[in-house]
Amino acid sequence: MPAVSMTVNGRAVHREVEGRTMLVDFLREQLGLTGTHVGCDTTQCGACVVHVNGLAIKSCTMLALQCDSALVTTIEGLAPPGTPLHPMQAAFRQHHALQCGYCTSGMVMMALDIVRRLGEPDEATIREELKGNICRCTGYHNIVKAIAAGAAAMVASHA
Amino acid sequence: MGQSSHLSLHGPTAADHGGIGRPITRLEDERLLRGGGCYVSDLIASSKPLRVKVLRSPHAHARIRAIDVAAARRLPGVVELLTADDLKNIGELPCDWVAPGMDVVPLQPVLARDRVRYVGEPVAAVAAETAHAADDALAGITVAYERMPAVVDQEAAIKEGAPRLHDAVPSNIAFRFRRAGGNVARAFAQADVVIRRRFINNRVTAAPLEGRAVLSDFDARVGRLTHHTSSQLPHAHARSLGECLGLPLHKLRLVAPDIGGGFGAKLGFYAEDVVCAVLSMRTGRSCAWAEGRGESFLATTHGRDQIQYVELAARRDGRMIGLRARLVTDIGAYALGMGPGVPAINTGLSVTGLYRIANVETEVIGVYTNRTPTGPYRGAGHPEASFLIERLVDDLARELALDPAELRRRNFVPSSAMPYRLPTGLTLDSGDYAANMETALTLAGYAELRQRQTQLRKEGRYFGIGLATISESSGVGPSMAMGAVGFRRAGHESARVVVHADGRATVFCGTQSTGQGHATSLAQIAASVLGIALDDIEVVEGDTLAVPFGTGTFNSRSMAIGGSAVYEAARKVMEKAKKIAAYKLQRRPRDLIYKNGVFRITAHAGASTSIAHLGKKVGEKVIRAVFKWRSGLELPVTRRDTEVVTFADIARAAHLGQDLPLGMAPGLEASHFFDPTDMLFDYGTHVAVVEVDPETGHIALLRHVMVDDCGRIINPLLVEGQAHGGAAQGIGQALMEAMVHGDGGEPLVRSYSEYAMPHATDLPSFETGHMEIPTKLNPLGVRGVGEGATIGATPAVVNAVLDALAPLGVTEVPIPMTPMQVWRAVERARHGLATADMDRSHRDLSAVGKAMQPQK
Amino acid sequence: MRDFVYHRPASLEEARRLAAEDGALLLAGGQTLLRDMKRGRHAPASLIDVTGIVSKQIELRDGAIWIGAGATHAEVASSAVLQQHLHVLAALVGHIGDPAVRNRGTMGGALAANEPAGDYPAACLALGATVHTTGRNIAAADFFVDNGRTMLEPGEIITGATFPISGRAAYVKFLNPAARYAMVGVFAASAADGGPRIAVTGAGTHGAFRWQEAELALTAGFVAENLRGIGPLPERLVEDLFADAAYRGHLAEVLARRAVALASGPAPGVTVLTHGSREIDR
């Protein structure tokens, strides 16, 4: 069986994987990082979004083997246990941007990618940028507010 | 029955920290945001269960001639296989809400025996070491089917000669439920205007982002089953599972951990739960199944699907005097879960909406078709009722050239008339519909919107404003009445409040959050009464081992019924706490005030207090003397000159039991079953503002305004969230969501690539307002909020689009109003063809397309 | 999904050799291929990952834009070179899929997939692009053969594409509310030296195509009105839950007019229509 090495949330990992293993299943089942979720089978819902080499990608549609030597960040890696929430996470909580929580990891990871690329986008842009993330609970209203607030906090802290 | 509070509202006051009414950010969010959610699939990923896959029927209707699993059994990694033959002692899936008058109840078997009746029906199941091995095993099972004609439309199903789904049910009619009040014939005879319509409230599906999942683990050593499942009703499902398996309930623990959305789809009790449990019993290993998204469109109940023939009789001044409704509703292939009762009762009794229509006749006809069974979906029968009456009201307004808001005003049941018994039998308890609508109209700037519409029409633009005023009978319900309408579950809800020795508390409740935030809201209710910090309260739901009784979360009942149970249980705890405090402070309970976790002697204690105080001191001296005389020991000296005692002190005292009032049992906990005396009514107004492009059929949702009255608000943040999310689902059905089947019964929707889910860019930011007229029917004054926005959003958006296109002569666009449907309606109107009832079927695309070819 | 052997060759030669074997498929971003493999549409024996061995360059060469096959949609959308010289293409690519998909999907992968509602094929046809492979240079008009099929031979790998620069070019698409790709997308371009080009995607069962009747009507002038009532599309049209043939054909004409109006107006660019939302213009 082939093997893959990558760094996940700052820790080097090395495992054997079948070629057909998607990154999301590798993370969830072999590394026990169940904060990333699977919500669909057509690469649409975004519940599986993580960062690979700094870019938001859909881990259900990327092979684990394609991540050899990559730096992977999952939701668990944003704020290690015992440390305060990342400003984007804090913004989600502040604005009641999660209900069942199933889409939330993907939303937060995508939100960080939005800020990375666009800084502090306006509401219409944020809504467009969430094209690949589906939420069934919140109607997006609070998610959009949270992302705007999180973006402002992130940009301010880097100013 | 166990209701210690009365109708007068002596309700709780908000504590300074974390009580009722505070917009507390949720206690559970930190964990969820860090990726610490624990959904059933997470438990599966972190344990090593056998993976279960289900073989499903590819045919809508067929006889099963043979199932051959021999080859599959030999495949590597396959541990066990099940067909119906292996389930001889296993019961069928229950129907928990039988429509009144339904004598034959065809239940769905766990695995199909000799016949399949819908594409997706479970036929066999396999447990294997890996998911891949299970998939290969499914491919290795051979089933010999003999196809039968299928019927996929409820009107076709009741026609003469239609294929019969169940031998005992002629014409595929599951039930006919009639309600009538007043004199409909006379009303129609006297009417100045009669509006007749045929509406289709189309089939949709809840599609929560977390599919269903099960992890079942039978420990043969002790004969105990631990069953994790994605369920909205842990206790009801435990009962159903125990009955199916023949397993005693004291040997069954059912756990619903974090659930990723339910919306009614996880109210059903499904085959996969039984299958996993049986496989675990047979293999001695834990067995897990997780629904794939494609699978979910076949295997999980669908919602709505009603063809509605309605007639409205009105006077020239706009007063609606009569309503007839004949609602042909698709039950799907089997009577499953709450499927039949939802349309019969919830739609059948609610057709008059908020209006004083004295003469009503409804008939709900439930029909079996070869499609996935239907079940409750957010609103559960109420959206169908609100849709028909709100559409009729707008059509009447157009007919009479009256403003739609004014027409509603003339017909609302006034608050002075409440409680108001509807002709269908429900009683509207209280509410001010007119004030609610006025608030919404003001928030929307209705007058300005109409002016803007006039201006834009001159510019050739199609700008529309749509209203919907709706209510929902919520808060199931009085247990006694539940039986009368065929509901085979309880209506009460229970809670237990346990105070630990350090003064912190655990609240156990029979409700089940699937995202509604009960860990926070129920804690707020308890905190309001117990006067302790939110962080000192933990809410436990969803584990039948910890919470022995419960009914569950549906029909917007959790705060109203569950919250009331928590409130009353907490009050019982406080009654005892107060007695202990009084004992400690040597006063009477009424001489004490309690604030922020501390009992103090009230400054107003007068002479009588001193006498009582003296009396207690004397009494205590006597007890000490007797004790010493009998045992030779001195009781520990307790200071009695303190002015305050904390809740934590009391809790400790209760646990130790060393120094409690004579005759008082130790411990500080209480349970309460809250059984409501009647249904509640939450209500609200929606104003939708749209612009339509007739050339492409594109609809832009410009604004969506909602004002609800959910009674007392426990947490404004959570109420807002329910309004937003509910509205999104209502808008989804209005614009894009549809479960569609081909003529042969094959689902044409298998993924999010065919089932259109609202995305962020499709929706506006919502504008909300709230009224809080508390209901008198529970001690909290809560009416319920989970479903109202879904119920109101659909007709508001439809009315807005029809308002926008009225100048073009369009009077109907079927839902979902996809761009194509909008364009077709515009084209029909342009060619002078009627648009009402223009689309008899959503299935025959090409036929409708041909009919639509514009004449050149 | 069936298991397969995964190769990460270090050179284009090694990749060609492996890709020529039976049952081998090329893998780039995987947003189309892996998605289709999960749904059982492909079951290759091996996947040859070309990441890192095909060019990602985006540059101006002899008055045209060269885009390396390995450039992701995100990279193309944010390319300064494209923003300056052919911003309509950057905008079009910036609306493929969603942001996460764009971080992985590549131009080479999109061209090779030739999906029936692909945005890139419409751009290639309307701009008169040339596809460069390890073996030859192929005009876009010849490259796209049918739905999901191109002229690529087994073992032949796309290395890049060249896009002539057109000042008057625009793309208008109306998204399918479920799948969120083009229900119909029309790319209108008028090159300074060439004639009008109208490429339609999402409509034909064989994939993107040039609408010759529309182009003929526009020879009288690159104005939207010249397209009014030009008659039905020549192709057999895709029918699905959201658009039957009649609506699709109608939409094609409407979007063609809008694309021409946008291309010939003061701010050529991309308009995306999403049901529910106000128009998004770039």
Q: Within an 8 Å CB–CB cutoff, is residue A122 touching chain C?
A: no
User: Do C177 and C270 belong to one domain?
Assistant: yes
Q: Within an 8 Å CB–CB cutoff, is residue B709 touching chain A?
A: no
Q: Which residues pair with B566 in a beta bridge?
A: none
Whole-number pLDDT of residue B838: 43
Contact flag A110-C99 (C-beta cutoff 8 Å): yes
Whole-number pLDDT of residue B833: 80
Q: Within 13 A of B196's CA, how many CA atoms are on the CB side?
A: 2
Residue partners of C266: CB distance under 8 A and separation at least 6: none
Residue C282 lies in a domain: no
Q: Within 13 A of B683's CA, how many CA atoms are on the CB side?
A: 27
Whole-number pLDDT of residue B539: 98
Chain B: nearest CA to A109, how far in angstroms? 11
User: Do C269 and C184 belong to one domain?
Assistant: yes
Contact flag C34-A132 (C-beta cutoff 8 Å): no
Q: What are phi and psi of A70, to 5 degrees?
A: -90, 160
Domain edge (last residue) among C116, C147, C164? C164
Whole-number pLDDT of residue C281: 60
Contact flag C30-A66 (C-beta cutoff 8 Å): yes
Find the residue in B nearest to C279 (Cα): B700
**Structural domain harbouring C191:** 168-277
Whole-number pLDDT of residue B439: 98
Contact at 8 Å (CB) between B288 and B301?
A: no
Residue B790: its chain A contacts at CB < 8 A? Answer: none
Contact flag A134-B752 (C-beta cutoff 8 Å): yes
Helical (H) or strand (E) element with B382: helix B382-400
Q: How many angstroms separate the CA atoms of B121 and C109, rounded? A: 38
Contact at 8 Å (CB) between C95 and C102?
A: no
Token match 């689009």: residue? B801
Name the nearest CA neighbour of B518 among B472, B478, B566.
B566
Q: Within an 8 Å CB–CB cutoff, is residue B260 touching chain A?
A: yes
Q: Which of A96, A103, A108, A112 best probes binding to B when mutated, by most B CB atoms within 10 angstroms? A: A96
Q: How many angstroms separate the CA atoms of C175 and B753, rounded? A: 12
Chain C: nearest CA to A132, how far in angstroms? 5
The pair of structure tokens assigned to A104 is 């939330």
Q: How many angstroms separate the CA atoms of B680 and B781, rounded? A: 10
pLDDT tens per residue across span B13-70: 444 456 999 999 999 999 999 999 999 999 999 999 999 999 999 999 999 999 999 9
Chain A: nearest CA to C21, how far in angstroms? 18
Whole-number pLDDT of residue B11: 43
Q: Which has more confidence, B13 or B132?
A: B132
Name the nearest CA neighbour of C162 among C26, C268, C60.
C60
Contact flag B33-A142 (C-beta cutoff 8 Å): no
Whole-number pLDDT of residue C116: 96
Find the residue in B nearest to A109 (Cα): B33
CATH of residue C21: 3.30.43.10
Whole-number pLDDT of residue B505: 98
Whole-number pLDDT of residue B839: 41
| DSSP-derived 3-state class of residue A98 | coil
Given a cut of 90, whether residue B616 has pLDDT beyond it is no
Residue C124 lies in a domain: yes
Q: Within an 8 Å CB–CB cutoff, is residue B716 touching chain A?
A: no
Nearest to B761 among A33, A76, A127 (CB): A127
% of chain B with per-residue pLDDT over 70: 94
Q: What are phi and psi of B337, to 5 degrees?
A: 60, -130
User: Do C142 and C229 belong to one domain?
Assistant: no
Chain A: nearest CA to B759, how far in angstroms? 6
Per-residue confidence band for B844, with pLDDT thresholds at 50, 70 and 90:
very low
Q: Within an 8 Å CB–CB cutoff, is residue B29 touching chain A?
A: yes
Pairing label, strands B287-290, B213-219? antiparallel
Find the residue in A nearest to C5 (Cα): A19
Per-residue confidence band for B608, with pLDDT thresholds at 50, 70 and 90:
low
Contact flag B760-A131 (C-beta cutoff 8 Å): yes
Residue C250: its chain B contacts at CB < 8 A? Answer: 823
Contact at 8 Å (CB) between C66 and C160?
A: yes
Contact at 8 Å (CB) between B788 and B470?
A: yes
Q: Which of C7, C34, C75 best probes binding to A when mutated, by most A CB atoms within 10 angstroms? A: C34
In the complex, which subunits touch B with 3 or more CB pairs below 8 angstroms?
Answer: A, C
In Å, what is the CA distance from A62 to each residue of A57, B793, C97?
A: 8, 38, 15
Find the residue in C nearest to B748 (Cα): C241
Whole-number pLDDT of residue B855: 32
User: Do C65 and C142 belong to one domain?
Assistant: yes
Q: How many domains does chain C have?
A: 3
Q: What are phi and psi of A57, to 5 degrees?
A: -140, 160
Residue C8: its chain A contacts at CB < 8 A? Answer: 65, 68
Given a cut of 70, whether residue C35 has pLDDT beyond it is yes
Token match 């800084």: residue? A119
Per-residue confidence band for C235, with pLDDT thresholds at 50, 70 and 90:
confident
Name the nearest CA neighbour of C121 among C134, C136, C138, C104.
C138
Residue C115: its chain A contacts at CB < 8 A? Answer: none
In the sheet where B78-82 sits, what is the strand order?
B78-82, B122-128, B50-56, B287-290, B213-219, B224-229, B252-255
Residue B809 backbone zone (phi > 0: left; psi -120 to 50: alpha; other: beta): left
In the complex, which subunits touch A with 3 or more CB pairs below 8 angstroms?
Answer: B, C
Residue A33: its chain B contacts at CB < 8 A? Answer: 35
Q: How many angstroms separate the CA atoms of B565 and B5, rounded? A: 11
Contact flag C51-A65 (C-beta cutoff 8 Å): no
Whole-number pLDDT of residue B14: 42
Averaged confidence pLDDT in chain B: 93
Sequence letter at residue C28 = A
In the complex, which subunits touch C with 3 or more CB pairs below 8 angstroms?
Answer: A, B
Sequence-ordered strand ranges (E) for B426-519: 427-428, 462-474, 493-499, 505-509
Given a cut of 60, whether residue B10 has pLDDT beyond it is no
Per-residue confidence band for A94, with pLDDT thresholds at 50, 70 and 90:
very high
Q: What are the DSSP calls for B314-343, one per residue?
A: E-TTS-EEEEEEEEEEEEESS--BTTTHII
Given a cut of 60, whether residue B845 has pLDDT beyond it is no
CA dihedral B766, B769, B774, B780 (to 10 degrees): 50
Residue A36: its chain B contacts at CB < 8 A? Answer: 35
Burial degree of B605 (CB within 10 A; 0-12, 13-18, 19+): middle
Given a cut of 50, whether residue C62 has pLDDT beyond it is yes
Per-residue confidence band for A37, with pLDDT thresholds at 50, 70 and 90:
very high
Q: Which residues pair with B124 in a beta bridge?
A: B55
Average pLDDT over residues B85-96: 96
User: Do C129 and C88 belong to one domain?
Assistant: yes
Sequence letter at residue B377 = Y
For C:190-249, CB contacts with A below 8 A are none
Q: Return the domain boundaries, chain A.
A: 3-77, 87-158
b (16+ CB within 10 A) / e for A105-144: bbbbbbbbbbbebeebbeeebbbbbbbbbbbbbbbbbbbb
Average pLDDT over residues B136-148: 97
Contact flag B729-A136 (C-beta cutoff 8 Å): yes
Residue B155 burial (CB count, 10 A): 16
Q: How many angstroms separate the CA atoms of B149 and B164, rounded? A: 9
Average pLDDT over residues C43-63: 97
Per-residue confidence band for B620, with pLDDT thresholds at 50, 70 and 90:
confident
For chains B and C, what is the number of CB pairs under 8 angstroms?
93
Q: Which of A52, A58, A109, A127 best probes binding to C when mutated, by most C CB atoms within 10 angstroms? A: A58
Q: Which residues pair with B706 in a beta bridge?
A: B686, B768
Q: Which of A60, A100, A144 best probes binding to B when mutated, by most B CB atoms within 10 angstroms? A: A100
Contact flag C104-A46 (C-beta cutoff 8 Å): no
Contact at 8 Å (CB) between C231 and B837?
A: no
| DSSP-derived 3-state class of residue B181 | strand
| DSSP-derived 3-state class of residue A50 | strand
Contact at 8 Å (CB) between B359 and B423?
A: yes
Q: How many angstroms separate the CA atoms of B441 and B445, rounded? A: 6
Q: How many angstroms separate the CA atoms of B759 and A136, rounded? A: 9
pLDDT tens per residue across span B156-188: 999 999 999 999 998 999 999 999 999 999 999
Find the residue in B nearest to C2 (Cα): B132
b (16+ CB within 10 A) / e for B671-706: bbbbbbebbbbbbbbbbbbbbbbbebbbbbbbbbbb
Contact flag B259-A100 (C-beta cutoff 8 Å): yes
For B:658-717, CB contacts with C below 8 A are 695-702
Averaged confidence pLDDT in chain A: 97
- CATH number for region A3-77: 3.10.20.30
Sequence letter at residue B265 = A
Nearest to A137 among B39, B294, B515 (CB): B515
Residue C81 lies in a domain: yes
Residue B517: its chain A contacts at CB < 8 A? Answer: 99
Contact at 8 Å (CB) between B55 and B126?
A: yes
Whole-number pLDDT of residue B13: 44
User: Do C172 and C269 belong to one domain?
Assistant: yes
Helix A104-118 with A87-94: angle, nearest 10 deg: 120
Start-to-end Cα distance in chain C: 39
For chains A and C, what is the number of CB pairs under 8 angstroms?
85
User: Do C122 and C209 belong to one domain?
Assistant: no
pLDDT tens per residue across span B481-525: 888 888 888 899 999 999 999 999 999 999 999 999 999 999 999
pLDDT tens per residue across span B727-740: 999 999 999 999 99
Q: Within 13 A of B500's CA, how many CA atoms are on the CB side?
A: 9
Token match 């409501």: residue? B676
Domain edge (last residue) among C114, C149, C164? C164
pLDDT tens per residue across span B439-470: 999 999 999 999 999 999 999 999 999 999 99
In Å, what is the CA distance from A26 to each residue of A15, A59, B383, B636, C31?
A: 9, 9, 42, 62, 18
Chain A: nearest CA to B751, how far in angstroms? 7
b (16+ CB within 10 A) / e for B170-198: eebbbbebebebbebeebbeebebebebe
Residue C98: its chain A contacts at CB < 8 A? Answer: 46, 131-133
Name the nearest CA neighbour of B806 among B781, B836, B839, B783.
B836
Q: Which residues pair with B179 in a beta bridge?
A: B362
Given a cut of 60, whether residue C123 has pLDDT beyond it is yes
What top-level class would CATH report for the domain A87-158? mainly alpha
Whole-number pLDDT of residue B846: 33
